[in-house]
Amino acid sequence: MNTPSTTSVLHGQRLVPLAAPTDAAQTAALRDGLLGGGLKIVEVGLRTPYSMTALTELAAGGELIVGAGTVLDGAQAEAALDAGAAFLVTPGFADDIVEVARRRGVPIVPGVATATEVLRARQAGLRFVKLFPANVLGGLKYIGALSAAFGDMSFMPSGGVSQATLAEHLAHPAVAAVSGSWLTSGAMLDRGADAVAEAVRASVEIADASVRASAARSESK
């Protein structure tokens, strides 16, 4: 089955910040803060009237890998891709959005909350899903239970993850990436690019350390 691949723009991305800028100032703080902190990927949640404009501006700059998040239907997915989105993320599983991603040849990370949704994603040929809302559903304990049944699936928890718990999440063998909304919240963006860069830099160091630790464990086997 032909399915969108997550081995291109998302390959090796362990930290995917989620942001929903509300104006040009927040968008600039987001762009400059991510680049200043050493992170070149962002998921723009389509949650505000300005979000699509922010996505368009960030994608046009060419410095960041920009995805569209909180995509709710196929029409919105089409609009986001036309605006320059390089990947799609949804809060739940939707066949029409998966079909748009497949037809347009872009990666999609569908949201799941149940074993049924994980199975639907797997049957659609996808192997990387977003667990949302992770903290409400049971976090790493729930991921562990799901991965016991779906050993070939990888997860991106979203909701409730923080810098304090980032290392723990990335150490889980079924976690391929973490959605980092704490890095780029509206309050953080209002503090400016330097504050964003500082938070991003600290989290990137944690993510890089997790990669080194994983490589060391693999070498020791």
43 catalytic per annotation: yes
Q: Which residues contact 158 (CB under 8 A, 6 or more apart)?
A: 18, 111, 130, 131, 132, 133, 134, 178, 179, 181
Classify strands 111-112 and 18-19 as parallel, antiparallel or unpaired: unpaired
Burial class (CB in 10 A: 0-12, 13-18, 19+), 79: middle
Pairs from 148-151 (Cβ < 8 Å, separation ≥ 24): 149/115, 150/115, 150/118, 150/119, 150/122
The helix/strand/coil state of 128 is strand
205 catalytic per annotation: no
Pick the catalytic residue: 78, 99, 130, 205? Answer: 130
Pick the catalytic residue: 43, 63, 168, 221? Answer: 43
**Residues taking part in catalysis:** 43, 130
